[in-house]
Amino acid sequence: MSVILYILIVLLWGLSWIAIKWQQGDVAILVSIFYRFALAGIILFIAGKCLNKLQAVNFRQHKFLLLQGLCLFSFNFIAFYYSTHYIASGLTAVMMACTPIFNALHGRLFYQTRTNGYFWLGMLVGLTGISLLFIDEFKTASLSHDLFIGIGLSLLGTWCFSMGNMISIRHTRSQLQPYTATTYAMFYGSMALLIMIVLQGIPFTLDVSFLYLGSLFYLTVPASVLGFTLYLVLVNRIGAHNAAYVLLLTPMIALMVSSFFEGYQWTGYSTLGLLLIVVGNLISQFKMTYFTRIKCWFIGKQMGAGF
């Protein structure tokens, strides 16, 4: 079941990259994000009420749902979107791909969750792979004030996303289901976005083109309603640091989609990067028991040969 969830999330979020790009235009970034999560929250709430999926939530849980909404559905997206004003999207993707590292460190700090050496080796291989995917963008980057601002915003967004993951673990321990958590967190996140839009005097405009509305639908339903709910379920099943590895795999899907819609050209570097990301994922998810079984099998074959 976890493998199916993993693959679904990678596909849903991998396809969302091109949809986000199609959102850019006359509508302000904050307004587009608000539309996305406000609509997703409304859909989740109505469906939850109709299907009796929403749990009763006490005041203390609401406080953490508010924090999770700010981390997962507000501040992190603002940081990521604005970071692309200063640095190339590829560098932002690499910073986002550091989420499993943040989750591993935060998990150790807050929940005493341990990680093995295979996870760190897999992360190193995977990050090397994603860096190769965007090596052309790195070649054009130069040390500047904008570069450090962009990296700082990307890391801030990554930190916020990771903290949202940690709060999800707390929800699980307090018997709060991912569907309920996602619904209320999206509501709080969209309300925070609304306040920021009003305070900045940003106009509420709407692009009625098929491209904008189609991408908004995709980001609202498959990427948000399904994607985030399934992701929080995956966090509960395999742990925050392992689940977050999907953020290394989604750019890979995004570039495959880009090769069809935008004429992205694969090179030797990007192909090698693709291979390293897959290998890194396999290594990071590998358990010691598998190595033990392989070792026992090998020893058994050797002993059999000796006899």
Q: Which of 70-79, 128-137, 141-150, 225-234 has the lowest mean pLDDT?
A: 141-150
- Kindly state the tokens that stand for 164: 């949202």
Residue in the structure block whose two tokens are 């990007």: 270
Find the mean pLDDT for residues 4-26: 87
- Kindly state the tokens that stand for 142: 């130069």
Q: How many CB atoms lie within 10 A of CB 77?
A: 22
- Kindly state the tokens that stand for 307: 């006899």
Mean pLDDT across the chain: 85
Residue 294 pLDDT class (50, 70, 90 cuts): very low
pLDDT at 204 > cutoff 60: yes
pLDDT digits (tens, 9 = 90+) for 96-121: 888 888 998 999 999 988 888 888 99
pLDDT at residue number 288: 43
Which residue, among 306, 218, 266, 302, has the nearest Cα to 36 in the 3D structure?
Answer: 218
The per-residue DSSP string of 81-101 comes to HHHTTTS-HHHHHHHHTTHHH
pLDDT at residue number 287: 54
pLDDT digits (tens, 9 = 90+) for 37-56: 999 999 999 999 999 999 99
pLDDT digits (tens, 9 = 90+) for 156-186: 999 999 999 999 999 989 999 999 999 999 9
CA distance 230 to 244: 12
Find the mean pLDDT for residues 2-28: 87
Biggest distance spanned by C-alpha atoms of the chain:
82
DSSP-derived letter for residue 114 is: -
Q: Which of 11-15, 85-89, 289-293 has the lowest mean pLDDT?
A: 289-293
pTM attached to this predicted model: 0.83
Strands (DSSP E) along 69-168, which ranges?
none
pLDDT at residue number 88: 66
pLDDT digits (tens, 9 = 90+) for 55-74: 999 999 999 999 999 999 99
Residues in the chain: 307
- CA separation, residue 243 to residues 1, 100, 105, 257 (Å): 13, 8, 14, 22
pLDDT digits (tens, 9 = 90+) for 253-292: 877 887 887 777 788 888 898 899 889 888 877 654 444 4
pLDDT at residue number 289: 42
pLDDT at residue number 258: 79
What percentage of the chain has pLDDT greater than the value 70?
Answer: 89
Residue in the structure block whose two tokens are 């707390």: 170
More confident position, 237 or 133? 237
